A and B are shown apart, each in its own frame.
Chain A
Amino acid sequence: MNAASNLPVRAAGEAGPPPSRVVAVVGPPNSGKSTLFNRLTGLRQKVANFPGVTVEQHLGKLRIEDEAELDVIDLPGVYSLNPRSEDERVTLDVLMGRMEGVPRPDTILLILDVTNLGRHLVLAAPVLALGLPTLIVLNMADELERRGGDVQVEELARRLGAPVALISAASGEGYDTVLQFLRGRIGIPRPVELPALNDLPRCREWAARLGAEAKYLPPAPPVWTRRLDGLFLHPVAGPLVFLAVVVAVFQTIFSAAAPLMDLVDRAVGASGDLVGRLLPEGPLRSLVVEGIWGGVGSVLVFLPQILILFLFIGLLEDSGYLARAALIADRTMAKVGLQGKSFIPLLSAYACAVPAIMATRTIENKRDRIATILIAPFMTCSARLPVYTLIIAAFLPERPLLGPLLGTRAAALLGLYVLGFAAAVVTARVLKSSILKSERTPFVLEMPPYRRPTLRQVGLRLFDRSKVFLRRAGTVILAMSILLWGLAHVPTKNGKAPEIADSFAGTIGRTVEPLIEPLGFNWKIGIGLITSLAAREVIVGTLGTIYGIEGDDDGASLQAALRHDLTPAGAVALLVFFAFAMQCMSTIAVVRRETGGWTWPILQFTYMGVLAWVGAFVAFRLVTALLA
């Protein structure tokens, strides 16, 4: 559409734009679009320091006093209007009004990183050629100033034929100009002739000329970024630092989280007792105390651990280290036929596979993208964390391995993460040398400068994470706990609740028992495996409910109860099972959506299920033999 015309025609200049209704936030990757979008709408879209964070459009509302409400659309970053990947296509489709359910934008905020103005201005040519009222937002003013750069905004506006604002989306400096523009209070300079859009060198020259005319003084190179890269990409120190960080994460998940978990545990226990005393003896009390408190409560305990995990992931993402990790991992990825870009979604799969699968949109090659989607659920997501730590803590005594730096439990957890990663890598290798074979696509990744993560940003992330976690506890896990409690109390025998083994729940568990007996699991674990098809951590809640109902000896912890039902070999088998199985409805749904059909999710579910069974079987036999 744009590459054909040599002299793009723009709408004739008017005194001011008509009051805008739908504002699109456009710009190159990592220029601060989502940061500005969040400021405009008060929403909290994901912001992080690497290119390709936003992969689909997000709508928000902006209300300016005495004006109508505006729709604001946050978009994936683009280098040009010639899309090459799924996320870039989204931006073009929205701009052209071709995206279903998204109104066609009539105003554009073009966000450019002013610390690299020359190259970013190139995008102004195709965007201005769209002929919509456009404000050129030069973002990162704070960084420009700190590193001693400068630009004359009015001059740039005149030469560009579009209004220009110099702002810092992060701190809010200069933000008023953006609002003024959206109110239609900023005069638009006379449009100028744009360079031929299909001639990239000419466009770049045009941008350079504009920069020179606006007296653009590029900032000094980021000294700290070079220093840090000198360390993190050092041939010896780099991998060591990487390893040290990983070990630190796992150790803190166990040691630092423990007191907090105790606290939550005691709060859950005390509130359960209190509620129990307030309610009269009977089915309602049983439902509330054993079903709900036992189920939801036993999952809640893991909130501190999950927050620690997210704290580390947040620091990696906000600082810019993630792009370096992708660089370091590229060789491994190349060996299995993928590229370093696949590594970024895989890393975010440590939080959750769902956003990770969305993030594969940045991978240009379709087959690489599908392969990455298929292996993402092998990465140890945060929902596995409660299951892993519960079983590890129940069966493995804590002993120091590397002094206070690494204990047995953290090492076991680390091992499970490695196991998941290995499964992913081997699967990728198989896929890429068979059904998903493709030409090698070049790995091209822009390295962002390091940025200091702000307390506010990290804090908000943790807050949002807690909300997500609590919402899950309050919906999926609560519903499953109540359902299970119900199934465990019917059919009644002589008006009395049955033994749990004879209840419907027990019957279901005993029906699947033959299938899982070779893995060392009994019918109670079987019930947990079934309920955890909804989401992995549900098994913890389920076991909590079952043991709560059984509960002859109160005070016996979940861990102690678990030791009755599982041999050490069975525990290892259960860990392996959870490492491989695809027990997550949301993941299945998002794979179906992103691959456009049921073929891939069904294949993936079956493959992972078979692998989980076989892996658990082998583990059970092996450990049984070893311990005999």
Chain B
Amino acid sequence: MCALNSKIPVGPVDKKWTDYKDHALLVNPSNKRSIDVIVIGSGLAGASAAASLAEMGYAVKCFCFQDSPRRAHSIAAQGGINAAKNYKNDGDSTYRLFYDTIKGGDYRAREANVHRLAEVSAAIIDQCVAQGVPFAREYGGLLDNRSFGGTQVQRTFYAAGQTGQQLLLGAYSALSKEISKGSVKMYNRHEMMDVVNVNGKTRGVIVRNLVTGKIERHGGHAVLLCTGGYGNVFFLSTNAMGCNVSAAWKAHKRGAYFGNPCYTQIHPTCIPVSGDHQSKLTLMSESLRNDGRIWVPAKLEDAKAIQQGKKKATELAEADRDYYLERRYPAFGNLVPRDVASRAAKERCDAGHGVNATGEAVFLDYAAAFERYGHIEANKRNLVNADSATIIAMGKEVVKEKYGNLFDMYQQITGENPYEVPMKIYPAVHYTMGGLWVDYELMTTVPGLYALGEANFSDHGANRLGASALMQGLADGYFVIPYTIGNYLANDIRTGKIPTDTPEFDEAEKAVKDRISFFVNNKGTRTVDHFHKRLGKVMWDKCGMARNAKGLTEAVGEIRAIREEFWKDVRVPGSESDFNPELEKACRVADFLELAELMCLDALSREESCGGHFREEHQTEEGEAKRDDVGMAFVSAWEFAGDPGKAVLHKEELVYENIKVVQRSYK
């Protein structure tokens, strides 16, 4: 059993990364050509890593399960990407981004990693602009910024509501450039089924060609998992349908420790569930909280009337509305961090103030913004006597320019026009801070196996700030891994090609084939989705926005029961040697059913409330999260021991030398 070594360089926090880079081992260009690097995933993390490593000269293979690398889930990110550029002259700095991220993460992230993230953030924006990413600009031609939750400066760069799309297309274009040169070999519609370790090091992967069903072996000197987050363990989430934990989970079962699995981000602004047929939830970007005001009816009888459709939101007088975020958190108002905003919505809805038929929704209201922007426009255009209808119409135009695509999306899904009636929103699973434990070099506990982007646990502590995942994914891929991987591969220059005709590859391939043939031959009576939905409900009810020991203990039992039933009774149609989406789902849900148990165990063992992890037993009198900085200031890193329930906990102590740890307050 290896003791956790986070390999954090010594020295002051703002010198660590420079110092590390100055001393990391290098691989000379001619040697790089004979070193094979396998990148699983082509999202922001994977595409940026694959392109950058190929530019440096490594021989890269990149895999994704979609039909094109451009479709990775990163494409869906809406709001923006943070960077400490201080273009707004509002006091931003590397230190402030570092500080905000640690604080936003509720003091459960590693100082050294987060500082590095803040240091490289500015270069990401430079890189993206050079690639032709069309960020929003001001009239002077310079880049524009907006603000996001949990910060008091404007440091978020954006491209309307499609920032993730534009950043990913930038990374995809860099990847395409390398594919065209032959320095990256791209495998679309290929799913990694297992990692292969040889003599304690990761030396390759087993993948399935999703079109032909063929199982392939690929050897490499290092494997990078850039496979995204596991929010879909809840069945309903804002993640794309294909998002899954399988690559990370397989790595976990092969020796990589899993970090903080219970840290899940529930996003406050999503479109509420509409019925049993629901297959996924849609996020309304956090940027909407910049200008929208969140409220519920102050009186229960009004709430009831609205729930029953007897009253409309617009009929309630100002005095009868409870702008509960502005009331509870005057300093940050509607821009409190996500975990705080989500819990506050749940609290109001649990108390009966919800505003749709299910009672699980709150209003996100733009009426005040229409007016405010309308007045600004009127001033700009010197319309001194504009009537209120004109002002509101002008305000709507401004809002349309800023958020038009989000408003359209809302209308498309709900059938309601958000320019006329306030939107209804409710929290939904969105992001997983937990992931494979990695050291400062982004290496997991298995040498040669790395994890980047949302797949690792690293930089967001117990709660991620908005616009920081895109930053982290691209930081990992463009600016961290190119430096840290050499430090490992420099010792591999004499290894030569990794053979794949070894017992380790045989064993891994056989296990994959056995599992697949089990599925297609098991003539059960229930579909994969049946089990996935049941699992999701248990997780949402008992390991969701609020957790307690009793519920979590019950959840463990229920998950085990569902898992047992799944293996007995699942039905997977079709064949193994064919395009078979049900088979893909079955393989992924099998892993979710194991991960879920570990998430509950982790949540049980974390006897405190922090960030996205809220244990009802640990709260202040005002119902705010209560951390235990004496007993729980550590990263939980779980080692697989034959069964998810038997996982062994290792602790990485978190040391804060540069930031004073205080109870978070957004009041």
Partners in one complex: no
Residues of B within 8 A of A (CB): none
